[in-house]
């Protein structure tokens, strides 16, 4: 059976004996094994990154950017291979995998602007013969811990920008679908990245704790569940590390009575059921303002849910593939059971879906609940599956209060033709990313991604301008060259321009 090994100092490195199975979610079969690092293996990667840092930090930003330009070309050339690897281990459709990769490539494109984004500020003559400027300097060895649901895109949120800023990076990807992540990292080595600047180490909690505890690691980026995000933020910051930890979500879409319902339904279908709902920006709650729009939504969306084309992700022309693991499938089914038990109206039930020829795959069909209330677990919890809940309220203000009261504040959207309602929503909603007639308001690469409340631990969002700030530290320099013939007496008052 194929072993997915670590990438340390530019070379594939075997593990120390521990490993985990990697499954094909469409068949339920273990197809590979992935090495799981112990602390000694992680230390090899840390030592490699530390040794590479002095030379890399002094490499001109333009030369770092040239590596990223070549990397972008290789990613585009190998799109089909990468998409297939993602689909085989995650389960998402080939088209969805290709879309994920393209969004990742956009972040590589942003990193190609290194000479521009790393420019500091300069002021001449802030005082007599005194000039001042700021310098954006790399932190050193930094690390990223990434989730299973975007094995290409989320790592590409992190290490291209960190590396182009002059840091050396250690990536701990999900052990559930590691092959595409490793393959992409090897393409960056092929693009000319020096050994040690990027290391990929697979593992579980032991590997994560090794990164948290290592004094050489100066910053940690994480995307995953809220409990783990909170753990990494707490443990990392108390050791003096810079941490950005993105956690869970419960994303609401508000449908106003004047919404363009046909377009809203199409948007909800993709946002709720795309990637089998395994997205931190998936819409899992439709908040309908009034029974009329709720009834109309149910009437229009039910036939489309029942018509979803579901099968093995590697097949073409599908809407949805399987969930990533058997445990994930069973968890989603458990939530559906709980929704029924707690009194929600189950309009479309996806629990009994069987895909011919893939009877052992981890499939759950599109599911719809109506008349969901805020105390139900299908409302409070992040299900991370193809389940959409309809909540009925009487006003926009009630819809906004519902969203603002939730512990998560990752993404939300409103469907309306009313500019006043949209502006009020954007101004007053307590959520980090907001869409107006846009169901998945994921910022483009030259903005930054991040939620509010318990969806984000840390002050800086991911990628874009905040990513540059996270992976650099600013140094302010004030310099004076006195004129040769001048001499000034000592000044004991605090210096000023007054």
Position 24 in a domain: yes
E strand or H helix that includes residue 400:
helix 396-405
pLDDT given at position 19: 95
Per DSSP, the residues of 214-265 read: -TTEEEEEEES-HHHHHHHHHHHHTTT-EEEEE----EEEEE-TTS-HHHHH
Same domain, 267 and 198: no
Domain-embedded: residue 22: yes
Contact (CB, 8 A) for 268 and 368: no
Q: What is the pLDDT of residue 316?
A: 84
Q: What is the DSSP letter of 359?
A: T
For residues 94 and 313, the answer to whether their CB atoms sit within 8 Å is: yes
Same structural domain for residues 165 and 282? no
Q: Give mean pLDDT in consecutive 10-residue pieces for the chain, a chain of 498 residues.
A: 94 89 96 96 98 98 98 98 97 96 97 94 90 95 98 98 98 98 98 98 96 98 97 98 97 98 97 96 97 98 98 91 97 98 98 95 98 98 98 98 97 97 98 96 94 96 96 95 74 73
With respect to residue 328, please indicate whether it lies within any of the assigned structural domains: yes
Question: Angle 179-190/79-90 helices, nearest 10 degrees?
Answer: 160
**Is residue 390 classed exposed, middle or buried when 0-12, 13-18 and 19+ CB atoms within 10 A define those classes?**
buried
pLDDT value of position 485: 64
Domain end among 403, 436, 469: 436
Q: CATH no. for residue 123?
A: 3.40.605.10
Do 228 and 291 lie in a common domain? Answer: no
Same domain, 217 and 242: yes
Residues 238 and 262 in one domain: no
pLDDT in the model for residue 493 = 78
Which two three-digit tokens encode residue 415?
């469907």
Give 142's strand partners: 169, 219
pLDDT of residue 482: 79
User: For position 291, what pLDDT does the model report?
Assistant: 98
Q: Give the count of domains, the chain.
A: 2
Last residue of a domain, one of 387, 405, 436: 436
Within-domain flag for 450? no
**Smallest Cα–Cα separation from 136: which of 149, 150, 117?**
117
In a domain, 443, yes or no: no
In a domain, 492, yes or no: no
User: Residue 486 has what pLDDT?
Assistant: 66
Q: Which of 436, 469, 492 is the last residue of a domain?
A: 436
Residues 107 and 193 in one domain: yes
- Structural domain of 292: 251-436
Question: Is 227 a domain residue?
Answer: yes
Please identify every residue annotated as catalytic. Answer: 280
Write the DSSP symbol of residue 274. G
Are residue 93 and residue 166 in the same domain, yes or no? Answer: yes
The answer to whether residue 182 sits within a structural domain is yes
Same domain, 201 and 121: yes
The model's pLDDT over 314-344, given as tens digits with 9 standing for 90+, comes to 888 899 999 999 999 999 999 999 999 999 9
- Provide the CATH number for the domain around residue 374: 3.40.309.10
Taking the CA atoms of residue 90, residue 92, residue 96 and residue 100 in that order, the dihedral angle to the nearest 10 degrees is -20
Same domain, 405 and 278: yes
Whole-number pLDDT of residue 199: 98
Domain match, 236 and 255 both:
no
Q: Let me know: does 164 contact 198? Beta carbons within 8 Å.
A: no
Are 204 and 150 part of one and the same domain?
A: yes
**Residues 197, 174 within the same domain:** yes
């Amino acid at each position: 059976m194929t072993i997915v090994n670590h990438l340390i100092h530019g070379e594939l490195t075997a593990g120390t004996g521990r490993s985990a199975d990697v499954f094909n979610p469409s068949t339920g079969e273990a197809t590979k094994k992935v090495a799981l690092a112990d602390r000694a293996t992680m230390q090899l990667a840390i030592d490699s990154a530390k040794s590479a840092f002095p030379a890399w930090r002094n490499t001109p930003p333009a030369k770092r950017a040239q590596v990223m330009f070549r990397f972008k070309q290789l990613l585009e050339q190998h799109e089909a291979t990468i998409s297939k690897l993602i689909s085989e281990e995650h389960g998402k459709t080939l088209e969805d995998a290709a879309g994920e990769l393209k969004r990742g490539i956009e972040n590589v494109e942003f990193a190609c602007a290194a000479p521009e984004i790393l420019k500091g500020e300069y002021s001449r003559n802030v005082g007599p013969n005194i000039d001042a400027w700021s310098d954006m300097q790399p932190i050193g060895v930094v690390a990223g811990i990434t989730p299973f649901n975007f094995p290409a895109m989320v790592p590409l949120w992190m290490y291209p920008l960190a590396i182009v800023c002059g840091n050396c990076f250690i990536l701990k990807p999900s052990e559930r679908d590691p092959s595409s992540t490793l393959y992409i990292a090897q393409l960056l080595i092929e693009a000319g990245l020096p050994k040690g600047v990027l290391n990929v180490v697979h593992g579980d909690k032991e590997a994560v704790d090794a990164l948290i505890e290592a004094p050489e690691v100066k910053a940690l980026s994480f995307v995953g569940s809220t409990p783990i995000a909170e753990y990494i933020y707490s443990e990392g910051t108390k050791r003096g590390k810079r941490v950005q930890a993105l956690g869970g979500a419960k994303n609401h879409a508000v449908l106003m009575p004047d919404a363009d319902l046909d377009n809203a339904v199409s948007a909800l279908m993709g946002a709720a059921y795309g990637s089998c709902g395994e997205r931190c920006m998936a819409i899992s709650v439709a908040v309908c303002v009034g029974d009329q729009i709720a009834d109309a939504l149910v009437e229009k969306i039910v036939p489309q849910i029942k018509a979803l084309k579901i099968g093995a992700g590697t097949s073409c022309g599908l809407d949805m593939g399987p969930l990533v693991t058997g445990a994930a499938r069973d968890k989603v089914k458990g939530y559906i059971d709980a929704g029924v038990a707690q009194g929600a109206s189950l309009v479309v039930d996806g629990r009994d879906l069987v895909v011919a020829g893939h009877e052992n795959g981890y499939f759950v069909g599109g599911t719809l609940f109506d008349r969901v209330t805020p105390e139900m677990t299908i409302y409070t919890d992040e299900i991370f599956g193809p389940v959409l809940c309809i909540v009925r309220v009487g006003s926009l203000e009630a819809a906004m209060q519902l969203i603002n009261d939730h512990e998560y504040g990752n993404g939300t959207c409103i469907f309306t033709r009313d500019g006043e309602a949209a502006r009020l929503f954007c101004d007053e909603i307590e959520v980090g990313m907001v869409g107006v007639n846009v169901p998945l308001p994921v910022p483009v690469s030259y903005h930054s991604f991040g939620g509010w409340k318990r969806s984000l631990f840390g002050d800086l969002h991911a990628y874009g301008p905040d990513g540059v700030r996270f992976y650099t530290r600013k140094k302010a320099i004030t310099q004076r060259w006195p004129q040769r013939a001048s001499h000034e007496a000592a000044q004991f008052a605090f210096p000023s321009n007054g």
